[in-house]
Structure formats: C-alpha cells, structure tokens
Structure 1
Amino acid sequence: MNTIVVYYSFTNNNEQLAKLLQEKLKCEILKIETVRRRTALSIFLDVLFQRKPAIRPHEMAMERYDRFIFVAPVWAGRMASPLRTFLYEEKNFIVRYSFITLCGGGQDNQRWRLEKELTAILETPPENVTELWIKEVLESKNMDPTKFTTAYRVESKDFERFADKINAFIK
C-alpha cells in the first residue's frame, strides 16, 4: 500500500503531528502551502464564506497513492480551508482516506460534522476521523483551556498524551 500524509498547519501544531505520522508509517509527506499568507482575519472570512484559498502547486502525482492521511486544524468546526482546496483539486485520485486533527476540542458533534464535510467533497466517507484535543493537554498542565487553547504550541512530549489515539488511528 502506498500511503501519503498530506497536511496543512497554520501554527505548526498539525505539522508536528503530520511528521510524527510520517515517521511511524514510513511514508511520503506533502505540505499544503497557500499562495497568500494566512491571518486570523483571512481564516475568519474563509470560515464565514466557505472560501477556498489558492494553494501552491505541488509536484507529486496523487494517482500513485492508494491511501491518504489528511492532517489539518479545525476552524469553527470545519477543516482548515487550505485542505478543503486541496481536496477539491485532487478528489479524483482520493478513494481511501482518513483525517486526523490536533484541535482545541470539546465542540459538540464536531467529528460528525467533519465526516459529513469530507464525504460531501470526496463523495466517499472517510475510514477514520480522529480528534486530538489541545484542551486535554492544557488540563493536564493545570492551564485554563478557554484562555490558552488557540495560543498553545504543542511540544513533542505532548504527543505522549495521545499515543493510544495515534496508534489506534494508524491501525
């Protein structure tokens, strides 16, 4: 099976997760990069108007892969818009896929909404959708999740908290 990890990361939290998955799976990786720099305002507008920002072209032939693992943040209950752009551009090559995110956490029905959004774009449901909540890391450090979730930058040791979920996702 030829697997690729495709990721977008605004704060580098999801980039660290993507690289961890690549290392564990010993597969290729592709970083989605936007043409224009992202800001809090552009992210807000993307969510509000369901925009698909322009992304930089890549040199990888997606038809070579039979399994995709998508990694991206979740913004207001939706996957990050640069990943959405990628999915629309490459959807003809994506059949078997999963999605994992390092996100704030705690939103009702977020997983279900992500599955619905992915299925609507790719016309086939994901094999797996997994959320790793920063909220859990903050609570374990006795930090207020309401205050620090958005600003928190994950450290490699934080992934130990999610080891069981990551291993279950990989299987």
Structure 2
Amino acid sequence: MNILVLSYSFTGNNEKLASELAKTINANHISITDKRDVSVKTITMDLIFHRKSKNNEDPNIINNYDLILYVAPFWLGKIARPLRPFFKVHRQLDKEFAFLTVSGGALGKNKKYKSELKKRIKKAPLFTCEFYTADLLENKDIKMKETSTYIIDEQETKTMVSIVSSKIDMYM
C-alpha cells in the first residue's frame, strides 16, 4: 500500500510527529508550506475573513497514494487551513484517510473536528488520533500560552508514533 503522510505544522510539533511516523511506517512524507509568512496574526485573520491558504504544494499529489495520513493542528477549533485544498481534491477520490493532530487543548478537547472532516472530505476517516500538549503539562491551571508554545520531545514523539502505528496496523 502506498501511504502518504501529509503534514502542516506551525510550532513544529505536527512536523515531528509526521516525520517520525513516515520513517517508522516507511511512507512518503510531504510537509505543506505556505507561500506567505505565517504568524498567529495571519492565522487569526485567515480564520476571521475565511481567506484561502496559499500553499507551495499541489493538492493533486494525493492522487498518487492509496492512504493519506493528514497531520495538522487545530486553530481556534478548526483544522489548520493549509489542509483545505487537499481536502477539496480528496473529496473527489475514492481513497482512505486518517487524521492526526498535536494541538494545545488549553480550552478543552476539540469535539467538532470529525464533523468538519466529514463535511470537507464527504466521508469519515479510518481513524483519528488527538494528542494535546495540555495533557503533557503537569500544571493543572494550564494557560493557552503554555500549550501553544510547548514543544514535544523525542520520547513524547515516539509514544505518539507508537499509538498511531498500532491504529494503522488495526486497519491494514
């Protein structure tokens, strides 16, 4: 099976997960990059004004794979916008996918993203995995600044990859 790990990362956490996962399962990995400089301000403005992403990568690249593993954060409760052009192409294809995220979680778990995936891709994922940096912090009074600046370490990355690999094995 030809597997693509397709990732977008603002802090580097999703990139770490995607890169290590691709190596572990022997998959291709493509990191989505924005043509613009991305900041918290541009992310917020994109969400408020529903601006489209301007990626360097062609979304049609997913045509070449049997399984797509999307890896990206949540931004204000929504899946990171750079994935949307790929979702638009994916909805026209008969391909399986999964969604993985490393996100902050200071405001709680995201309960709406699965319905967003169904809306955008027109089918449910094989599986999802959510990892929240809030769960990795020992402080009980967690602030958004702490979760948004937390960088996962090598051991945390390997633990996440192990969990995802187990799920992949269940479905393959």
TM-score range, shorter chain: 0.7 to 0.9
Partners of 2:70 and 2:158 in 1: CA distance: 20
Q: Which residue of 2 aligns with 1:128?
A: 127
Give 2:152's match in structure 1, choosing from 151, 154, 162: 154
Q: Normalising by the residue count of structure 2, what TM-score does the alignment of the two structures yield? A: 0.85
Matched residue type, 2:16: Q
Q: How does 1:16-27 map to 2 (within 5 A)?
A: 16-27=16-27
The unaligned stretches of length 5 or more in structure 1 are none
Extract structure 1 runs of 4+ deviating beyond 4 A: 106-109
Per the TM alignment, residue 45 of structure 1 is displaced from its structure 2 partner at its CA by: 1.5
Per the TM alignment, residue 90 of structure 1 is displaced from its structure 2 partner at its CA by: 4.7
Per the TM alignment, residue 99 of structure 1 is displaced from its structure 2 partner at its CA by: 0.2
- Are residues 30 and 158 of structure 1, via their aligned partners in 2, closer, same or farther at CA, if it must alter by over 3 Å? same
Per the TM alignment, residue 169 of structure 1 is displaced from its structure 2 partner at its CA by: 3.1
Matched residue type, 2:9: S
Asked whether the equivalents of residues 71 and 99 of structure 2 are also in contact (C-alpha less than 8 Å), the reply is yes
Say which structure, 1 or 2, has more relative contact order (CA 8 Å, 6+ apart).
2
Partners of 1:115 and 1:96 in 2: CA distance: 15
Per the TM alignment, residue 119 of structure 1 is displaced from its structure 2 partner at its CA by: 1.1
Asked whether the equivalents of residues 32 and 86 of structure 1 are also in contact (C-alpha less than 8 Å), the reply is no
- Are residues 35 and 69 of structure 1, via their aligned partners in 2, closer, same or farther at CA, if it must alter by over 3 Å? same
Per the TM alignment, residue 56 of structure 1 is displaced from its structure 2 partner at its CA by: 0.8
The unaligned stretches of length 5 or more in structure 2 are none
- Are residues 61 and 81 of structure 1, via their aligned partners in 2, closer, same or farther at CA, if it must alter by over 3 Å? closer
Per the TM alignment, residue 15 of structure 1 is displaced from its structure 2 partner at its CA by: 0.2
Q: Which residue of 1 aligns with 2:85?
A: 85
Q: Which residue of 2 aligns with 1:72?
A: 72
**RMSD across aligned positions (CA):** 2.4
Asked whether the equivalents of residues 3 and 67 of structure 1 are also in contact (C-alpha less than 8 Å), the reply is yes
Q: Normalising by the residue count of structure 1, what TM-score does the alignment of the two structures yield? A: 0.85
Per the TM alignment, residue 94 of structure 1 is displaced from its structure 2 partner at its CA by: 5.9
Does residue 2 of the first structure (1) align with residue 17 of the second (2)? Answer: no
Identity, in percent, stands at: 29
Per the TM alignment, residue 68 of structure 1 is displaced from its structure 2 partner at its CA by: 0.5
- Are residues 65 and 163 of structure 1, via their aligned partners in 2, closer, same or farther at CA, if it must alter by over 3 Å? closer
After superposition, the C-alpha distances for 1:138-159 in whole angstroms (9 at most, x for unaligned) are 12xx585315111111111223
Does residue 118 of the first structure (1) align with residue 120 of the second (2)? Answer: no
Matched residue type, 1:84: R
